[in-house]
């Protein structure tokens, strides 16, 4: 599982100009099952996305297609973690820790 932290690198006016395209991009990720949660940070200087994927490289490629990235208004910090415990509603996302 991955935490995708967005940090805005441009004024909010430029971010807002791309917001509709970013939300459409997110909706497509929800539909394909890659994104399971997302939202703005408070204060509004970026956002957070919780994503599932097979590998970090795939998530990095996905982030590169975000209109916020292609529009030059945000940078991503991606953190991979092993979700060994979840709320019951998220049980299908539980993972086993790597051996060793």
State the pLDDT confidence band at 99, using cuts at 50, 70 and 90: confident
Q: How many domains, the chain?
A: 1
Domain carrying residue 74? 2-83
User: Does residue 96 lie within any of the structural domains?
Assistant: no
Identify the CATH number of the domain in which residue 27 sits: 3.30.70.1060
Nearest CA to 74 out of 3, 6, 5 is that of 6
> Model confidence over 49-70: pLDDT tens digits?
999 998 999 999 999 999 999 9
State the pLDDT confidence band at 25, using cuts at 50, 70 and 90: very high
| Entry pTM | 0.94
Nearest CA to 47 out of 73, 80, 86 is that of 73
User: Does residue 13 lie within any of the structural domains?
Assistant: yes
User: Does residue 47 lie within any of the structural domains?
Assistant: yes
């Amino acid at each position: 599982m991955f935490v995708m932290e967005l940090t805005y690198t441009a004024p909010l006016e430029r971010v807002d100009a791309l917001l509709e395209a970013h939300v459409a991009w997110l909706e497509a990720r929800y539909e394909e099952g890659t994104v399971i949660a997302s939202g703005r940070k408070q204060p509004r200087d970026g956002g957070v996305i919780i994503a599932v994927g097979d590998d970090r490289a795939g998530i990095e490629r996905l982030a590169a297609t975000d209109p916020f990235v292609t529009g030059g208004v945000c940078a991503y910090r991606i953190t991979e973690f092993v979700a060994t415990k979840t709320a019951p509603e998220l049980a299908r996302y539980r993972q086993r820790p790597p051996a060793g």
